[in-house]
A = this chain, B = another copy of it.
């Protein structure tokens, strides 16, 4: 941390700050200059909330942290990339991964049909939500455990691993029984009790960035899970909230290269929720693979116009097959032997 003194800070104020910093166990490295005296704090400033109180001392203009607040999630903590294995599927490896399925699990027929479409298109993982976060208490709330059982059937029949959301600490055990990957939704990105709970689970966690979450906060939420012992964390960019309302959210595709630089964890993109409308899903999916994402979450529904939830953002089967076709072409451009990422 660096403490910047005010221009007119007195010598005794500077001395007081130095003594205060030393008194809580840090070294100091002051640098006197005409414009400003700045005091470098030597020592690990992570997790030391108390150090921020320096801002309270007379003569202090502001304090500037130097270290990133996360450790385990950072590239400094690990060489190479984390590859999360789920059955035969590797997320974060050389293959581009698609997780597809309906938004909500509505019925056995709807889920099984969606599963076969996903499989036929070439998706690697089946997604579907049984515990459904809804902004309105008057909307469908999800089939809960019954939905999990259907998802289990989808896995059994298609051979694809399944991912589903968990919303409450008390549901983690039952979800873990049925699911291969536990999804933490955007609205629970800073539900720290839930993060700790899945941090103690055995299954991988798909962690969706919140609409209001900075990249640093996303990595801090991943850090929660990692610090509890679960190192199988998959990140997911799904759109942030900005002033622009042409799509439901603004997909921050730039977050992908930033995350690739900062962390060893795999990064996926969910264009369906960001767009809020099927017509933008395919171009955004193309963009996601181009900026270097490791995979996609795609909503597909046998009959979107009859969907009980978020039908508008779900692809029809034929559009989904077109998307999967394109992903393979892009895959060659990006990840193939002569791909730009080689």
Residues of A within 8 A of B (CB): 2, 4, 7, 20, 29, 31, 33, 35-36, 38, 40, 42-44, 46-47, 49-50, 52-53, 55-57, 64, 66-67, 69, 76, 133-140, 167-171, 187-188, 190-194, 196, 210-217, 220, 223-224, 227-228, 240-247, 250-258, 261, 274-275, 277-280, 283-284, 286-287, 289-292, 304-312, 326, 329-330, 332-333, 340
Contact = CB atoms under 8 A, between A and B. Distances in A.
B246 A250 contact: no
Nearest to A191: B191
A329 B241 CA distance: 33
A244 B253 contact: no
Nearest to A61: B66
A21 B83 CA distance: 41
Contacts of A311: 49-50, 52-53, 56
A212 B214 contact: no
Given A291-B283, A329-B340, A192 B215 contact: no
A55 B243 contact: no
Nearest to A44: B35
B257 A224 contact: no
B170 A170 contact: yes
Contacts of A286: 290-292, 340
Contacts of A56: 278, 304-305, 311-312
Contacts of A217: 135
Contacts of A261: 279
A31 B29 contact: yes
A216 B329 CA distance: 33
A163 to B, nearest CB: 19
Contacts of A215: 244, 246
Contacts of A244: 214-215, 240, 252, 255
B247 A258 contact: yes
A307 B258 contact: no
Contact of A35 (B67, B253, B306): B67
B255 A246 contact: yes
B250 A240 contact: yes
A312 B4 contact: no
B251 A274 contact: no
Contacts of A138: 46-47, 69, 227
26 contacts: A2-B38, A7-B76, A35-B67, A47-B139, A49-B308, A53-B311, A55-B277, A55-B312, A137-B196, A167-B191, A167-B192, A167-B193, A169-B169, A187-B190, A187-B192, A191-B191, A214-B245, A246-B255, A247-B258, A250-B250, A253-B253, A253-B284, A254-B287, A257-B279, A286-B292, A287-B290
